[in-house]
Amino acid sequence: MPEGDSIFRAARVLDRVLKGRVVEKFESVLPALMRVNYDTPLAGRTIESVTTRGKHLLMAFSGDLFLHTHMRMNGSWHIYRPDARWQRPARDMRILVAVENVVAVGFNIPVAEFLSSREIVRHRELGALGPDLLGRSFDEIEARRRIVALPHDTIADVLLNQRVVAGVGNVLKSEILFVAATCPFERVADLTDADIDRILGVARELMAMSVRGRRRQTTRSMDPRAMLWVYGRGGLPCRRCGATIESRKSGTDARLTCWCPRCQPPRRDRAGRAR
Ligand SMILES: [Zn+2]
């Protein structure tokens, strides 16, 4: 599933090729989008920007119109020259935005709608998003407030909760907690404010590191086979201490969590008390 960093990279590329350009053609197989296109045509509008909010992508058109998309599991945006062959079958096409010499094609996008700026503010998902970890003005105090409001949740679940902080997906969740030396199953109530601030700091740092390059990386290794610390490495030795990495499916979606039991001991163990 694309995480905030992947969506950010996609938006950055779309913004680079589409920003300031005039739409020549808009097509979609989604009736709700075509209805808007029929009533208030997209062709002739200027694309003002392509940005992200957490895992959501917003393409802004002149005349206060935004195309909001969410990739969920399989969606993706591709950019082609008008005569180029698509890398995905045409039947997977959901949205097509063409400007002079460039065609942006959204494949298998399950969530797509047009919104005005006012509708964005009131939007059920967009309006409720927590502070964006990749946002230029990240509100750390607000993020911490939203975390401590869920004392019974584990820190792993809280990081995935887009209403708390926006952008973290399953891979980055495990990586952030490894770098922050925090046990994923720690309850928020057992963490100090300093712990939470440290975790948020690591989260921002790893997200920023991941969007700098062309792919996700949390280690500083030059080895393309060593981009991640723990995710997907259950049963393998920890890159830092050599202990065996553990992995477990947990939470409502049975999402995989990976961690090093030695580098990320539960707090009570660290304090020397028995669990
Ligand atoms: Zn370790």
Question: Who surrounds ion ligand 1 at CB < 5 A?
Answer: 238, 240-241, 243, 260, 262-263
- Helix or strand holding residue 146 (H, E): helix 140-148
255 an active-site residue? yes
2 an active-site residue? yes
User: What is the rounded average pLDDT of the residues 90-101?
Assistant: 96
Laid out side by side, the sheet with 25-28 consists of: 25-28, 93-99, 102-107, 76-80
Q: How confident is the model at residue 215 (pLDDT cuts 50, 70, 90)?
A: confident
Given 9, 48, 53, 55, the catalytic residue: 55
24 an active-site residue? no
Q: Centre a 10 Å sphere on the Cβ of residue 30 and count the other Cβ atoms it contains.
A: 17
pLDDT at residue 217 is higher than 90: no
pLDDT at residue 202 is higher than 60: yes
Distance of CA 229 from the midpoint of ligand 1 (Å)? 9
Least confident of 91-100, 132-141, 211-220: 211-220
pLDDT in tens, 239-249: 999 999 999 99
Distance of CA 152 from the midpoint of ligand 1 (Å)? 26
| pLDDT for 275 | 42
Got the DSSP string for 148-199? HT-TTSBHHHHHH-TTTSBS--HHHHHHHHHHTT--TT-BGGGS-HHHHHHH
How does DSSP classify residue 90? G
User: What is the rounded average pLDDT of the residues 72-85?
Assistant: 92
pLDDT in tens, 117-164: 999 999 999 999 999 999 888 999 999 999 999 999 999 999 999 999
| pLDDT for 1 | 63
55 an active-site residue? yes
